[in-house]
Amino acid sequence: MNHVKPTITPVMKVATLLREFPELEELLYKIAPAFARLRNPMLRKTVAKATSLRQAAKVANVDLSTLINRLREAAGQTAVAEEASDQASDTAVPGWVDTDRVKQTFDARPQIERGEQPAARVMADLKKLAGREIYELVTPFAPAPLIDLAAKQGFEAWSTESEDGVVRTFFRRVLQD
């Protein structure tokens, strides 16, 4: 019985892409060098399983349609029509990001390097935020899946990456006017 490979879509997990289309791994790294972090076996076991291609495009600051269509073309699949870009057009710091209001900072880099997921800890920490308090998360890449999870729980986030590749993501509760 022949195995039918799945269609590459924005909701496909990175781990599924790499498992089903191992020949696309180098192309993925070429499209966005940030994806090369997935060579780390621990990150591959954790982050790749939880991250969709849509989220990965955000992390790597790559246009989603470009990513999907280049992967589909290389896999012999039909390109899809242009989708609305998921990339933020405004990189300005939101007015609510005030480092004086940071209640807690958590550097998750050591935990991520060990292949552990910081999501449970971060979500527990976020639930303790009050009013206009801000939580700062430090990671080696933009934590798109965690940002999506936090948004579903009533938080907003903004990330910035320094030249040395350190990403600082600021979270706060969405305030009702």
CATH architecture group of domain 99-173: 2-Layer Sandwich (3.30)
Q: What is the pTM of this model?
A: 0.61
Mean pLDDT of 96-119: 90
Write the CB contacts of 92 (distance below 8 Å, at least 6 apart in sequence): none
Give me the residue spans of the domains in the chain. 14-74, 99-173
Q: What's the pLDDT score for residue 42? A: 76
Counting residues of the chain whose pLDDT is more than 70, the rounded percentage is 92
Which bin fits 76, alpha (ψ -120 to 50), beta or left (φ > 0)?
left
Comparison of pLDDT for 43 and 116, the residue scoring more: 116
Amino acid at 103: K
- pLDDT beyond 70 at 177: no
Write the CB contacts of 177 (distance below 8 Å, at least 6 apart in sequence): none
Q: What's the pLDDT score for residue 21? A: 94
- pLDDT beyond 90 at 91: no
